[in-house]
Each structure stands twice: as C-alpha cells, then as structure tokens.
Chains A and B, each alone.
Chain A
Amino acid sequence: MNRNTPHGPLTLVGLVAWREIVTQFQRKELWASLVMMILVFCGALGLQKVFTGAADRPVLAVVGEHRDLTESLRAQTAGASGDGGARGVEVVSYENEAAAEAAVRAEKADAALVGEGRVLVREKLPEPLAGPLYEAHRTAQTTERLRDGGLTDAAIARALAVQPLTVSALDPDADRRTEPTMTAAIGVMALFFLTFMFGQGIAQGVLEEKSSRIVEVLLAKVHAWQLLAGKVLGIGLVAFVQISAMAAGGVTVAVAADLVDAPADAIGTSVSVVLWFIPGFLGFAALWAVAGALASRAEDLQHAAGPVSMLQTLSLMAALAPFTGISDTLTRLFSLVPGLSSAVMPVRMASENVPWWEVALAAVLLLASIAALLRVGGRIYIGGLLQHGGIVKARTALRNARLGGMS
C-alpha cells in the first residue's frame, strides 16, 4: 500500500525540471553546440574588429637617421595613445633602401621613408599614416631651418611648443557605442539560434511524451501547468547555463585576445543581453511546447511550429533594425512590443541611452504577456496533449480543455 507523502506543486515542478536538466546534460550534442557557440561568438567579435576598422598601428620604415622626424612621430604616438582612434605610428629602422622597400612590398610596413623627403608606398599613403607623417616632416624641416638660423634646440622646442586645439565633442560616446551595439547584436543573434535549438528540443520532447503516451502517466501524477512549467524551466536553465558559459567564455577570450577596446562595456552588454534573454526564452519556450502539444507526429511538428519560428525570426529582424537605418520611432516601438522586445531592447540599450521608464515598460509588458501566454498556452497544451491525429488546431485544443475540465 502506498505510504508516500504527496509532493507540493513546486517540488513536482522541480522534479520535472530536474529530469529535463539531467537529460539535456547527458546529450553530447549539447556540449558540442556549446563549444561551437563560443567559437562563433569569438569569431564574430573578431570580425567586428575587422569591420569597425580598429586595425593595428601603421608602420613606417625609415632608412638612415631622420632623428627629428622620428622623434616628432614618437611624440605624436605618445600623445595619441589610448585615444580610441589614432594610435600613432610605429617607426622601424632599416639598413638600406632595398630592405625598406622589401618591407613595404611584403606588407610589413605601410610606407618607407627612404631619403630626404621621399616616401615609398605600395599604392597610396594610408590615411592613418599620412597626417602624422606630413606633420612630422614639416616639424623636422622647420627644426632644421631654425637650427641653421642659429637657434638652440631648447629655443626651437619652445618655438614649436604650440598649445593644441581644444576639441569639444558633441557626442563623445558615439564611437565607443559601436562596439557594445555590435556585441549586443551578436549576442542576440547567438541567442536566437540557441532559443531556436532549445525550442525545437522542447517541442520534440513534448511530442515524444504525447506520441508515446508518457504524458498520460505524467498527467496522472502532475498537473499540466506543472509539467509545462517544469519543462520550460528545466530546459531554460540549461539554456541559461549554456548562454552564460558562452558569454563568459566569449568575453574572456575576446578580452584576452584584445578583440574589444572597452571590456567593461562588453561585459555590461553581455549581462544585459542575458537578462533580457531570460523572459524572452520563457515566452518562446512556452510557445514551442504548445506547438509540440498540437502536433501528433514528428512530420507535423514543423508545420505546427511555423507561427512560433516566424515570430522568433521577426524578433531577430527587429533587433537588427537599428543597423538598417530604419526610423528610430519604429525601433523604439519594436523595443516595447512583447515578443520582439527581448531581442530589440538590449541592442537599443547598447546603442543609446534608453529612458528608464521605457525599459521598465518593456519589461512589464513582456512579463505580463508571458503570464497570459502561460495561462492560455497551458490550456492549449493540455487540450492538445490528449488529442491525436494530425495537427490539433489551437481553438480545438482550447475547446477540448474546456469540455474536458482539464487542468
């Protein structure tokens, strides 16, 4: 005779979630996808670096002394360091013109100063090198003429010490924001694929339970909402661990390899993306579970899940809206709409200062919609689970749930 003490609802949800977690972590595919995602994340950060033009310092090959010129260049380099854009010029000495020319041909140097006022380049003088080089040349020439005029080096230095222009930036963070925006967009894209992958896993798992009638055994022990909640939470937790590992691994590698200029921004953006991911994932996971409950056979699943994958794709497209030059108003609107906001808002937050009330409104709307979704979706879920044959329409499933008095 049964002497067991019935578990509380939360324990039952926990048991369902635990099974999902254990089952997921026993899958080799999960570990393979985790490694792949980290590599993709790092690769994408590297590409971003290339596309945003944060290249290495230009290299100038010099032959001979050119003391004044190289000093002027080095002085500019020292003044430019950490400026985010111009990083100065690296000056490398070569013994003769042939060696310097070979360095330019081999792309070891961007230009070679081979003689008095003569510069060799492959095609044209690179922009980051041109300004400093012209300036250094002018300074070197001026210094030489002043020295010929009898001035001492100290007097020359005083004469050339010009108070630099004071530059006041109207939008000093504009350039700095590019990197977090790109990081957020890459993160959202990675999460899109992750949610898609886990979403399909959830739908297949629900379908497996339905088609093998395991769900009937389960529903004799737990309520449908407990089953749905446990499943979504369990797989959600696995996805969260995976995305956290991916973000942590990706950011660590990116910082270690100097792929990002502002690590704090990258970390902050990653945290924001992950935090927005949680409610977004919960919503989509519930939708995928409902889609699984509406299908009866594996071949029906893609069709049943069509609207879910379409909505998810829309959310990704909306998240990339800021890069398409689409109107700011539309992007703002997308960032508030549940279903899209979890992808759009983190990208928007990375690219501009979003008013706090808009962030709060988006979060409230998203959470409210998830609560409504779990309620209605839960009804469709239970209504679909016990109906077999083809794809069950959502309306039919709701009717089944109502007629059956299912809970």
Chain B
Amino acid sequence: MLEFDALTKGFGDKKVLRGLSFQVRPGELYGFCGANGAGKTTAMRIALGMLAADTGEVRFEGRPVDSAGRRLIGYMPEERGLYGKMRPRDQLVYFARLSGMGAREAKARADEWIERLGVKMGPKDVLDKLSLGNQQKELIAALIHRPGVLILDEPFSGLDPVASDAMAQALTEFTRDGVPVVFSSHQLDLVERLCDRVGIVRDGALVAEGTVEELRGRTTRRLEIALEGAPAGWASAVAGTRVVEARHNRYTLEVEEQVPVREILSAAQTHGDIVHFAWRESSLTEIFREAVTA
C-alpha cells in the first residue's frame, strides 16, 4: 500500500499542501484529480524525494519512502521526455539500471518491451529519428524495471488514441501484478473508465474520494425530463429543484434530498406530456466540477 499521510508543504508564504492524505491499495488504479495548482505534482515530488514535506510523510508497505524505497517507484513526470540523441534501447536500459536492475536483465526487458509495444526503429536510430507514435510507446517502455509502485503525472497527456490504449493496457497489467498505481489526469473520462478509486484534491487537501459510484452517490441527484407541449421555462416552477441544464425541451434538474420524485413527476405532467423522465448519472467531470468549486 502507498500512503500519503497528512502532507503539508509551503513555499514561503504559499501553502501548497494542507494535510493531504490518501492511500493507494495493492493492485489499485487510483485517479488523482485536481485543478492546476491544486498540489498534485508537489505531492508526487514529495513521494519521489525531490521535495521534502514540511510535515507528514509518504509510506510504502508501511515504511517511510527513503532513497532505497524510491528505486521501487516507477515515475513519469507530466511533460516527460527522453533523450532525443540517445538510442531508445540504450535509454530503457539506462533507466532500468538506475532503478537497480542488472545489466543483462535490463537489456532483456528492454528488448521484450520494445517488441511487445511494436516500437519500430533501426538498430542505430536515436529517439529523435522515431515517429511520434513510436516515441510515445517508448515512454511506456520506460517503466520496464518492474516497479513496486507507479506514480504517473498526466501519463495520457499528448498520447494519440493508439498509444493511449497501450498505456491503459500497461497500467492495468501492472495492477494485475499487485502494483499500486496512482496517476493524475485532466482526462476525466479516462479516469472514470480506468480507475478503481478517485481522489479529488483542492487547495492542497483531498475534498472527495471513493469509487466513481460512491462519488456519484454523494453528489446532488439529477433528473432529466423532456416534455411535449410544455411552455418554455416550465421547469423553473418545480419546487425543490434547480435547473442546471436546459436544451430544447429537455431539462436537467438538481433535486433536493427530501423531495419525493413522484411530486416532480406530478408537477411535470401538469405542464405537458412526458417524453423522457429518468435519473441522470453524474459524470466524473460533473462530480469534479462540483467538488472543486464547492
């Protein structure tokens, strides 16, 4: 288990983290979401030892992450790059070796991943000579050193759909091996589709956490209603609700907790014939928006 425990961090007068805590369980894919400047990258850099926390600590398998523990971490920074003038295989071996892997195994793993991801290149090609798609695949292969935990900052940013699928598949395979994976992303549809749990951070503290279903359960209920023959703006008159979206004759209403749904149904029927009447599941984007603007 990877634990971020009550992390605080300030840069001068600016407080970036204010008691941030969350856990990533073995084999769990954890989506770490937040607006820009919320403290995601700072938290990740603390886990990697690039920054020191003012208070709190990051633990892996119950022990504070020290320099030896950091070698277990597979990390990909947001605008990650590779050496443009270095041969792709050489840099995979280099990164794996820095993580403690032996030379022979690193070479074998590099060859295995290059073949598995279908990276096309000549034997003497440097990275800059590779197509963008192949460079993106090479990025994924940079995690070949059998990390015990993965911390990825915006791993899907800038990937084309093919590379994005390959990345998703690679992350899923890591979790299958019991590796805890935490990644930040602004692509919330991907987070919703892939992650077992999601944490939303605002101003350096976690404001929502759980499975997407759990988060949905905590958001305000929404009804989507379409009527035929109803006057424009009829929905504003329904008591105990608030219109959040109106498109043609279709309205999305936030429904207060204590209001019975049959009362809304009755109120709607007085304005016109029901064409559509259903609960609408909040998307992660809506959950996120609500959490960071509350």
Look across to chain A and name the residue whose beta carbon is closest to the beta carbon of B52. A405
Whether B50 contacts A223 by the Cβ 8 Å rule is: no
| Interface of chain A residues 1 through 28 with chain B (CB within 8 A) | 1-7, 12, 15-16, 19, 22-23
Question: A208 on the interface (CB 8 Å rule)?
Answer: yes
| Contact mask for chain A residues 211-223; partner B; CB cutoff 8 A; 1 contact, 0 none | 1111011111111
| Contact mask for chain A residues 189-214; partner B; CB cutoff 8 A; 1 contact, 0 none | 00000000000000000001101111
Whether A4 contacts B51 by the Cβ 8 Å rule is: no
Question: B82 on the interface (CB 8 Å rule)?
Answer: yes
Whether A208 contacts B84 by the Cβ 8 Å rule is: yes
Whether B142 contacts A217 by the Cβ 8 Å rule is: yes
Interface centre among B12, B50, B71, B179 (most CB of A within 10 A): B50
Whether A404 contacts B52 by the Cβ 8 Å rule is: yes
Kindly list chain B residues whose C-beta atoms are within 8 Å of the C-beta of A12.
98
Output the least CB separation between A11 and chain B (Å): 9
Kindly list chain B residues whose C-beta atoms are within 8 Å of the C-beta of A50.
none
Question: A373 on the interface (CB 8 Å rule)?
Answer: no
Question: A403 on the interface (CB 8 Å rule)?
Answer: yes
Question: A237 on the interface (CB 8 Å rule)?
Answer: no
Of the candidate stretches B145-153, B211-219, B238-246, B266-274, the one touching chain A is: B145-153
Question: A406 on the interface (CB 8 Å rule)?
Answer: yes
Given A19-B94, A219-B50, A4-B81 contact (CB < 8 Å): no
Output the least CB separation between B122 and chain A (Å): 14
Give A88 to B84 CA distance when docked, in angstroms: 63
Pick the contact of A23: B49, B78, B86, B95 (CB < 8 A): B86
Whether A1 contacts B77 by the Cβ 8 Å rule is: no
Question: B80 on the interface (CB 8 Å rule)?
Answer: yes
Question: B99 on the interface (CB 8 Å rule)?
Answer: yes
Whether B95 contacts A221 by the Cβ 8 Å rule is: yes
Give A12 to B97 CA distance when docked, in angstroms: 9
| Interface of chain A residues 49 through 93 with chain B (CB within 8 A) | none
Give A221 to B145 CA distance when docked, in angstroms: 12
Pick the contact of A403: B11, B94, B148 (CB < 8 A): B11
Give A307 to B86 CA distance when docked, in angstroms: 30
Kindly list chain B residues whose C-beta atoms are within 8 Å of the C-beta of A16.
98
Question: A386 on the interface (CB 8 Å rule)?
Answer: yes
Give A214 to B72 CA distance when docked, in angstroms: 18
Kindly list chain A residues whose C-beta atoms are within 8 Å of the C-beta of B179.
1
Kindly list chain A residues whose C-beta atoms are within 8 Å of the C-beta of B70.
220-221
Kindly list chain B residues whose C-beta atoms are within 8 Å of the C-beta of A213.
77-81
Output the least CB separation between A207 and chain B (Å): 12
Give A19 to B148 CA distance when docked, in angstroms: 25
Give A170 to B197 CA distance when docked, in angstroms: 90
Give A407 to B82 CA distance when docked, in angstroms: 23
Whether B49 contacts A214 by the Cβ 8 Å rule is: no
Give A386 to B75 CA distance when docked, in angstroms: 15
Pick the contact of B82: A212, A223, A386 (CB < 8 A): A212
Whether B90 contacts A22 by the Cβ 8 Å rule is: yes
Given A403-B11, A405-B52, A7-B100 contact (CB < 8 Å): yes
Give A220 to B76 CA distance when docked, in angstroms: 9
Look across to chain B and name the residue whose beta carbon is closest to the beta carbon of A388. B79
| Interface of chain B residues 92 through 131 with chain A (CB within 8 A) | 94-95, 97-102
Give A221 to B142 CA distance when docked, in angstroms: 13
Given A386-B50, A404-B51, A2-B142 contact (CB < 8 Å): no
Whether A1 contacts B97 by the Cβ 8 Å rule is: no
Give A219 to B51 CA distance when docked, in angstroms: 10
Whether A4 contacts B99 by the Cβ 8 Å rule is: yes
Output the least CB separation between B87 and chain A (Å): 8
Give A147 to B85 CA distance when docked, in angstroms: 86
Give A405 to B146 CA distance when docked, in angstroms: 28
Whether A220 contacts B12 by the Cβ 8 Å rule is: no
Output the least CB separation between A310 and chain B (Å): 29
Give A220 to B95 CA distance when docked, in angstroms: 11
Give A236 to B72 CA distance when docked, in angstroms: 31
Pick the contact of A217: B68, B76, B100 (CB < 8 A): B76
| Contact mask for chain B residues 143-164; partner A; CB cutoff 8 A; 1 contact, 0 none | 0011110000000000000000
- Subset of 10 A-B contacts with CB under 8 Å: A2-B72, A2-B145, A2-B148, A5-B100, A7-B71, A212-B79, A212-B84, A219-B49, A404-B50, A406-B52
